[in-house]
Structure 1
Amino acid sequence: MMPSYFFAHGAPSLVIEDHEYTSFLKNFAATLPRKPKAIVIFSAHWEHTVQQVSAVDTHGTIYDFSGFPEEMYRMTYPASGDASLSEQVLSLLNGAGIPAVPDTDRGLDHGSWAVLKLIYPNADIPVVALSVNRYLDNAQQYEIGKALAELREQDVLIIGSGGIVHNLRQIKWGAGAESVDAWAAEFDTWIEKRLKDWNLEELFRYRELAPYAERAVPTSEHFIPLLLAMGSGDGARTAELLHRSYQWGSLSLTAWQFG
């Protein structure tokens, strides 16, 4: 069965950066047991109050950022869609009591394409993108991922793209990779233990229980994809930290495997 994954997408410039985490992503595909039949990806940068499921022939590329190097605005990621998979995702979600609708227009935002371009640069695997909804509680987020778990049996790669410690107001521009703010590391470590123990009761209450939670997660949209990816690994309930590093003091670049 294909594991599911959470990947931090950092800043939009991740796709042109050269460091330990980008090297990890570039080499990640080789660690999988086989090439995925398709990819289902949740991005923190597609927010909607009703679950959206992409249903396009070919994805456009959304440049949902400004002030970055010109080369980034020339990049594309024209991955094809997968109509039958989109229908299956919609059926699984609606069948689990999670209202979901197709979206036939939207392209891939940088939360999706910047990560995928590093992992599968040829855009040769069909992609179905999904939105996130910050107004659901954490248990509901987990259930959305759980509803899609059977896709892993069909060699579909499920990815949540976001960030565990993601507070742009706390960034220290110019800080090197070796400079890690203690509060960010402490929050990350607290989350790590709950993931490895599969302690859903405490994880779902991270905002009230975890140290520095409000500082690490000022808004929840980047944290949600972690719960979605974890939910899709509910059958096995195993979590493995594959990579963790930091940028600019506190922006965590983390990769987790579930199942």
Structure 2
Amino acid sequence: MVPSYFFAHGAPSLVIEEHGYTDFLKSFAKDKVKPKAIVLFSAHWESTIQSIGAVDTYSTIYDFSGFPEQLYQITYPAHGDAALSDQIQTLFAEKGIPSRLDHERGLDHGAWAVLKLLYPDADIPVIALSVNRNLTNEQQYQIGQALAELREQDIMIIGSGGTVHNLRRIEWGANAAADWAVSFDQWLKSKLETWDLEALFNYREEAPYGKDSVPTSEHFIPLLLAMGTGDRNRQAKLVYQDYQMGTLSLSCWKFE
């Protein structure tokens, strides 16, 4: 069974940066069997109904501005998989989750910046999935649960977002992580490793600096989605943790 993963995607420039986290992402696939396909929830595709990518070949969306010109030259022309898109819609329907197929949208930077580092050849079919911040945290988890059986088909499920993601509290030029950001991530680690769903579903109220770390939920939601796919075994492992600019968390979680 293929594990599911949560990857922080940092800033759009992640894909051209050089540091410990990008080294980790570039080496991620070296000792792993290539998955049959990748199903990816991106924090940067928001929709009020669960949307499922169903394109033949994805365009590359540059959903940012003011970054180096080099970024706008990067492409990630991954292919879709129509049969898998249909299967995902069926799995959602079986759990009473409304969904729609999207035949036009390309990959945003929450998807392609991570995938370009993990699998640079774009030779694995990708199904992009949206997130909906209007749902409860329990409903987010249930969406992940609905896709769990895909892991038995050599399909990797990825949530791409960020745990501590407050752009207004970035500390430019900081050499160390802010105490409050570390405090939140440490709390999160303890609750993920013990699979404390009640606490996690109420993280904004229960976690130290919950509202500072997660001022809006769209970047946190992919973590709950990826976690939900691991409900059967309930094993979470922090694979990587670091910070940029004092507060921007760069983490990878694996769910067995």
TM-score, normalised relative to structure 1: 0.98
The RMSD of aligned alpha carbons is 0.5
Structure 1 segment 225-244 matched on structure 2, within 5 A:
225-244=222-241
Q: Give the AA of the match of 1:92.
A: L
* Cα deviation code 1:14-65 (max 9, x no counterpart): 0000000000000111232x11000000000000000000000000000000
1:156-184 alpha-carbon deviations (Å, 9 max, x no partner)? 000000000000000011223xx110000
Give the secondary-structure state (helix, strand or coil) at the position aligned to 2:151. helix
5+ residue gaps, structure 1: none
Whether 2:39 is the aligned partner of 1:40: answer yes
SS state at 2:39 partner: strand
Q: Name the residue aligned to 1:108.
A: 107
Matched residue, 2:20: 20
Q: Percent identity?
A: 66
2:106 pairs with 1:78 = no
Between the two proteins, the alignment pairs up a number of residues equal to 256
Structure 1 counterpart SS, 2:86: helix
Residue 163 of structure 1 corresponds to: 162
For 2:14, give the aligned amino acid.
Answer: L
Which of 174, 190, 193 aligns to 1:193? It is 190
1-structure distance, mates of 2:229, 2:59: 27
What is the distance in 2 between the residues matched to 1:115 and 1:123? Answer: 11
Secondary structure of the 2:107 match is coil
Residue deviations 1:61-117 (CA, integer Å, cap 9, x gap): 000000000010011000000001000011001111110100000000000000000
Give the CA deviation at 1:185.
0.2
Question: Which amino acid letter does the alignment assign opposite residue 251 of structure 2?
Answer: T
1:247 and 2:244 matched? yes
Query: Aligned partner of 1:249: which letter?
Result: G
Q: Distance in 1 between matches of 2:71 and 2:164?
A: 24
Deviation at 1:214, TM superposition (A): 0.6
Aligned residue for 2:42, secondary structure, equals: strand
TM-score, normalised with respect to structure 2: 0.99
Instruction: Tell me, yes or no, if structure 1 residue 117 matches structure 2 residue 116.
Output: yes
Secondary structure, counterpart of 2:10 in structure 1: coil
Q: Distance in 1 between matches of 2:31 and 2:95?
A: 32
**Any unmatched runs of 5+ in structure 2?**
none
| Residues in 2 aligned to 1:175 and 1:64: alpha-carbon distance in whole angstroms | 26
The residue that corresponds to 2:51 in the other structure is: 52
